[in-house]
Structure 1
């Protein structure tokens, strides 16, 4: 019975839809305009939450931006004009997917460069480790005669090492 409950709970999770923060009073009466507004809202970053679209955020600023998008669409702006208006006002940061240009080049290149650099460091460490034999534990490679004599002396005195 317990397994059935868990299976049903997991199945229910698969069929859940993401919640959107769009309130009923924000929804436009024209379904095509509303669809355009929702599509644009999914591409715009909430300036408060920063990792959510304004469509998903319930922050007051996100609501203001959703209303602004809808106002611009009702005024007859194209999707591109709405996006241009918002980027002119808030900068590229308002876009969830910033464009590739000179100002955002580091943003696009840095993750790949870090991944590539990490792979190089990992490969170098693995090669160094493979080349190291059992003697590599000691800084100089092999023990000196004096060190070996001292270890043998200590082992003879220790009752735990006697058989």
Structure 2
């Protein structure tokens, strides 16, 4: 190969390599904020408690988001980032705690309450659906006699 072809091939290879590096850096930067937001949405804000760190406007949540960004920039895995917060705050900090023996009741209880509620509603509505029973002629006569006796008793009191 001539020097000119060799230089052209080297320059072309360098340009392809540089383009690959630029594309890699741009996509890594674009994914990093998404990853930070995803991790922050899995953590409970210690101040707001009903909001995730991603959604909370508190200063504590802002500091936690900054710490998550640092850990992600350092190359930590999602599990390592979450574990750092669990180590500092306990399992409580996770908005969706893992299924363990100690948290089994938290996972099972809502379903059990829902099933119990459905059964209660079904039982109550089944009682309302019972067919209307017609009174027999004997029963009708007994009711008429009882009403007549009540009417006679009320007339005597007046």
For the pair 1:58 / 2:53, whether they are aligned, the reply is no
Q: Give distance in 1, aligned partners of 2:96 and 2:105.
A: 14
Q: Give distance in 1, aligned partners of 2:132 and 2:151.
A: 22
Which residue of the partner structure matches residue 123 of structure 2? 124
For the residue of structure 2 that corresponds to 1:36, the secondary structure is: helix
Q: Any unmatched runs of 5+ in structure 2?
A: 1-27, 135-141
Task: Give the drift of 1:34.
Answer: 2.1
Aligned-residue CA RMSD in angstroms?
A: 3.2
Q: String of CA shifts for 1:53-104, please: whole Å, max 9, x gaps.
A: 1111101221121122112223332111001111122122212222111122
TM-score (norm. length: structure 1) = 0.61
Which residue of the partner structure matches residue 46 of structure 1? 45
Which residue of the partner structure matches residue 139 of structure 1? none
Q: Give distance in 2, aligned partners of 1:110 and 1:58.
A: 32
Structure 1 residues 119 and 64: alpha-carbon distance in aligned structure 2, compared to 1, 3 A threshold = same
Q: Give distance in 2, aligned partners of 1:62 and 1:120.
A: 42
Structure 1 residues 96 and 154: alpha-carbon distance in aligned structure 2, compared to 1, 3 A threshold = farther
Aligned length in residues: 122
